[in-house]
A and B are shown apart, each in its own frame.
Chain A
Amino acid sequence: DGGITQSPKYLFRKEGQNVTLSCEQNLNHDAMYWYRQDPGQGLRLIYYSQIVNDFQKGDIAEGYSVSREKKESFPLTVTSAQKNPTAFYLCASSKSGREADTQYFGPGTRLTVL
């Protein structure tokens, strides 16, 4: 089955700890994205990557970091500098170029910082 997988589904961490969220896709998409979803806030873009070894900040990148060493993988690290890390995190991917427009989403990871 082609798709996007995110693991784990639920994640709990203590305040002050860094945590890495996994995102893998087998759609052969060049571009990948990370969003944060909060109740009543919609989705907000954290980082995106158009191609391997390249990524750009989105609207709310502070306190987050990413890497893109492989086409299939785009892990997100939530650092201790992120002031309100508890949220639902969604990963997405898309083709590049003109077809970058349609993004396909994974099931999400719900992070709770205690």
Chain B
Amino acid sequence: AQSVSQHNHHVILSEAASLELGCNYSYGGTVNLFWYVQYPGQHLQLLLKYFSGDPLVKGIKGFEAEFIKSKFSFNLRKPSVQWSDTAEYFCAVNPAYSGAGSYQLTFGKGTKLSVIP
């Protein structure tokens, strides 16, 4: 079974600071990787995803993530955060090309981001 580790529980940044949230996974095969975001009072939304191809993935609202296979990592980045980025961010993984296993999405415990104006 797969597992996901998010290193930071709570990150506090000032506006315009750069952001990097760590995500590492454990799984012996090929995976799909996701970052979801939960803004206060809103639905969990897909921020970006990686299935294959270019390991640098761009998502909505200026976010990007880089898949480094050798490090089992999928860190989320944004060059300059805004107050509106205050939210909880979840990394998730599921096995690729594995039939029923692909339905089992495993989430990390989440990182709360607070951006101070």
At the interface, is chain A mostly helix, strand, loop or mixed? strand
Residues on the B chain within 8 Å of A61, using CB = none
Does residue B109 face the partner (Cβ distance < 8 Å to A)? yes
> Which one of A42, A48, A107 contacts B104 once the chains associate, using CB atoms below 8 Å?
A48
- Shortest beta-carbon distance, A59 to chain B, in Å? 8
> Which one of A43, A56, A101, A107 contacts B107 once the chains associate, using CB atoms below 8 Å?
A43
Number of A-B contacts (CB under 8 A): 54
List which B59-109 residues lie within 8 A (CB) of chain A.
Answer: 90, 92, 94, 96-97, 100, 102-109
Interface size class of B (residues with CB under 8 A): 20 to 34
Contact A105 B9 (CB under 8 A): no
- Shortest beta-carbon distance, B95 to chain A, in Å? 10
Contact A40 B110 (CB under 8 A): yes
- Give B31's nearest chain A residue, CB to CB: A101
Given A40-B9, A90-B44, A102-B46, the answer on whether A50 and B110 have CB atoms closer than 8 Å is no
List which A87-111 residues lie within 8 A (CB) of chain B.
Answer: 90, 94, 98, 100-108
Does residue B51 face the partner (Cβ distance < 8 Å to A)? yes
How far apart are the CA atoms of A105 and B108 in the complex, in Å?
16
Interface size for A (C-beta < 8 A) is: 25
Given A105-B43, A105-B44, the answer on whether A100 and B107 have CB atoms closer than 8 Å is no
Residues on the A chain within 8 Å of B32, using CB = 101
Please, could you name 28 A-B residue pairs with CB atoms under 8 Å apart, sorted by A? A31-B103, A40-B109, A40-B110, A41-B109, A42-B4, A42-B90, A42-B108, A42-B109, A42-B110, A43-B44, A43-B90, A43-B92, A43-B107, A44-B107, A45-B105, A48-B103, A48-B104, A50-B100, A56-B100, A90-B44, A98-B97, A101-B32, A101-B51, A101-B102, A105-B45, A106-B43, A107-B43, A108-B43
